[in-house]
A and B are shown apart, each in its own frame.
Chain A
Amino acid sequence: MTRPNRATRLDVASVVAHGSLRTVTTLYAAAAKAVIDGVVIVTDLETIRRVPPNTVVVLSAHMGSGGWQVSAALRHAWERRASAVIIPYSTYAESVISLAERLDINLMAAEQDPSTVALALAAEIGAVKSVAEVDLAQFARAVTRESTVSNVLKTISYRLGTLRVTLEHDGTVLAAAGGADRDGVPVHVDLPAIENWVRVKLVALVPKIRGYGPDEVRTFLEVAAPSVQAAWMAGEINDMAASAPTLALAELSHAVMGDAGTIDQVYPNLLATLGWHANQSYVAVWISHPRHQPHRVGRTAIVRLLWRKVWARRPLAEVLGGWLSVIPVSDEEGPGWIEIRIREKIGSSLAELGFSAGTSRRQSGIDDLPAMVQEARVAAEYGIRVAPGAVTSFGQLGVGAVLACTDDAAVTLVAGLTLPELLSAPDRDQIIRDTLAFLDNQSSMTLAAKSLKLHRNTLQQRMNRVRDVGIHLDDPAQLLPIHIILTVLKRGLRVPDTD
């Protein structure tokens, strides 16, 4: 849309310079720019106490005849944030000008009859307001044409001189457009309320020295708010539909509790039918919310809106315990770039919401898709424990990650990542039993040997193997995670718990 050149609001300086107030004498010109929304002729002080902000107060000849009344009128006008006070020409005194200077309010003297001045100004205000109405209608049409939240915000920002416009929920910026200037007076308008829906507001930062006043900006935001809402809801519907394959994958991996081969046996060619390709590499991203956080209607819409900044073409699917996206990646892209992108785009927002993101290791083909989903989930849940807003890569986890795991499958995944030598060792089962006995007996070799019905020296000899498979029992921080991992692994042993 074309940015209009004409001012949609009068200000005192321009009206005095070349408008209807060019005949008045300026006794004091306020430092701050004062806009004009209306004009009123007052015949008593009480009337001034009721004038709306940005009003030019014209004192009647009768009122202006008392010096103290001019002082009191200035005070009342200042309290009401009036644009200016116009007094009859003959009545001002130095003290009145001093007070105007002190209050920093425009003070002018008119030789003409006050009603003549007021009528001329009223006519000029009316003309400008009609221009403003037309301009507002054009703006409304422009925002209505936009179909995404981002574009609606850009349209608002552009129309208001590229000032920063954001869509916010509880202080979290969901989408933004416009300048990077963070200083200014915030003006906000709530999006139209939907029952039980989260409260989201449209915010503009109005610089103090720029052309638009807060009230004017608020008007534009109010006009644009329904379009923002509509674009957001349309995007939400699209994301919901586009996330169906991801949702299906999550549900299938959860229902079948197996790998892709198992899924393929139960539902032949289903993954391929849903759009997953055997010759493509993927990374799963899981966003977790704290377990204690109550579910709120609209929370998914907020996370999806944020996610559009990261990967608009792979929207999040709402799954049990969080949100999931599986992103196709090419081999040219280096490791860690997805995590960096998530941190840059939404890291601070995730922290404000108390959420964390986790990523799986990159995998080729569709065989490991269910495992990727679990890896991403484990990484995200570990991130929640570390710090809200963390973006954690599963590949970077250590054995300590099991402390965040809530089920055996997750612990097994972490074990596969951190103790591969143990899992592939031919004497794995014996190492697991021996080490568990040692840990169960508070690191007492004697008691462990007794529980295993072994000689102490025999167990001592066997424990030398533990370090070979990557278990470091001399690190106190690893004792609990190792204990958990081995306890879970022991449940899967086929051989009875005896030597």
Chain B
Amino acid sequence: MRTLTSIDVGHFSTGANFLACHIDPAAVFAYEDMIQRALPTGDVRLLSVGELDPEDLVVALGFVTQGLAIADMPPVGDEFIGCIREIEKKLGRKVSALYSLAAGNINGILPLMAGLQTALPIVDSDPMGRVLPLISQTTLSLGGVDISPIAVMGVTGERATLDVKDPHRAETLVRSLVIELGGWAATAMYPCTAKQLREHGIHGTMTRMIKIGEILDAEEAVERKYVQLVDLLNATRVARARVRHMESFSRERELGLPTQTTSLTLVDEVTGHIIRLEIENEILLVLVDGAVAAAVPDIVTLLSAEFGRVVNLDDVRVGHLLDVVVTPAAPIWYTDAGLNLAGPPAFGLPLQHPRRHD
């Protein structure tokens, strides 16, 4: 078990932003600020799943959004507590620990706040190992762990509990509710035992975010930071290139995906390579001269070449010099089942992932 300090939370926020794959970090920074302000009132305890009793009840927390940025309508503050209570009521037992629905972005960091509010520890595991847009795209789902009961609570205080077996059907129902609840909703889902999370989750992902932050926040040369990142994440810098062109709505999208499509074209001024990034909520695809260099579930991050800071889509301007860094996702995502659930075709990209051979 480890008690997080204010500095840890700052690093955690940087790491969550790094793994957000381009999502606007305003809400992450807002939560970082809230948690740091609330730290004097309690502890944020981070523990490994092995430290729990195998039968302990754990539950995933996460926002589900449908078109509205959380920063545009901040939560009241009791939404996740309400969700946890609903799960406890439904299952008739107490929740022992919380875990993040995703190891990145807002859903990576928000359980720290809920942990402060409830005095529950945070498990150093998650069911995505990165950020994926759909609540059904989890390793728990691959492992056959039930997604329900799902507790949903909106900013208005309205709440619902869903019992649904199929994760894809759950997706549809939750998103319908979210629209009615105002554009986003706090959720608690995948209630399971610590044993189930240990067997089907991805571990060490909270600590990884802190370590990423420690590297990126350090006062060091950019190249030195990259060396450490490569060492930590087995990451690769695909290109250092200048933004040449941006376009929105570059391709058709399927109804139901909470996104808008964007494409970014960069040119590597040394090699002449043309790099094209396809973006939805996160960067899905990297083409180098038209050839696939990386594709979801690879984690793609843009960093400013000058400072080594994470660059988000809203920050990108034509003429910026960026480093395109690719971090492999958890190995389970490159299995056939993993790629079926979270590979390029799942995002409407009719192409085969480079790591798939069939």
Contact = CB atoms under 8 A, between A and B. Distances in A.
Interface in A326-379: none
B272 A44 contact: no
A93 B252 CA distance: 16
B317 interface: no
Contacts of B276: 67-68, 71, 95, 99
Contacts of A78: 290
B289 A75 contact: yes
Contact of A45 (B244, B245, B274, B350): B350
B211 to A, nearest CB: 33
Contacts of A253: none
- Of the candidates B244, B263, B350, B352, the one having the most CB atoms from chain A within 10 angstroms of its own CB is B350
B109 interface: no
Nearest to B352: A46
A68 B263 contact: yes
Interface in B223-269: 244-245, 247, 250-252, 263, 265, 267
Contacts of A73: 290
B285 interface: yes
Contact of A72 (B245, B250, B263, B292): B292
A115 B251 CA distance: 22
A94 B267 CA distance: 12
Contact of B285 (A46, A68, A75, A94): A68
Nearest to A70: B290
Contacts of B278: 68
B5 to A, nearest CB: 43
B351 interface: yes
Interface string A380-405: 00000000000000000000000000
Classify the interface of chain B: helix, strand, loop or mixed.
strand
A103 B267 CA distance: 14
How many A residues are at the interface, by size bracket? 20 to 34
B250 A68 contact: yes
Contact of B272 (A45, A68, A79, A102): A102
Contacts of A103: 289-290
A66 B290 contact: no
A45 B247 contact: no
Given A67-B250, A95-B245, A75 B290 contact: yes
A78 B276 CA distance: 17
A46 B289 CA distance: 17
Contacts of A71: 274, 276, 287, 290
The 7 closest A-B pairs by CB, nearest first: A75-B290, A95-B265, A66-B251, A67-B250, A71-B290, A95-B245, A68-B278
Given A67-B250, A74-B290, A95-B265, 13 more contacts: A65-B251, A66-B250, A67-B251, A67-B276, A69-B251, A71-B276, A93-B245, A93-B265, A95-B247, A95-B263, A102-B289, A103-B289, A103-B290
Interface of B: 244-245, 247, 250-252, 263, 265, 267, 272-274, 276, 278, 285, 287, 289-292, 349-352
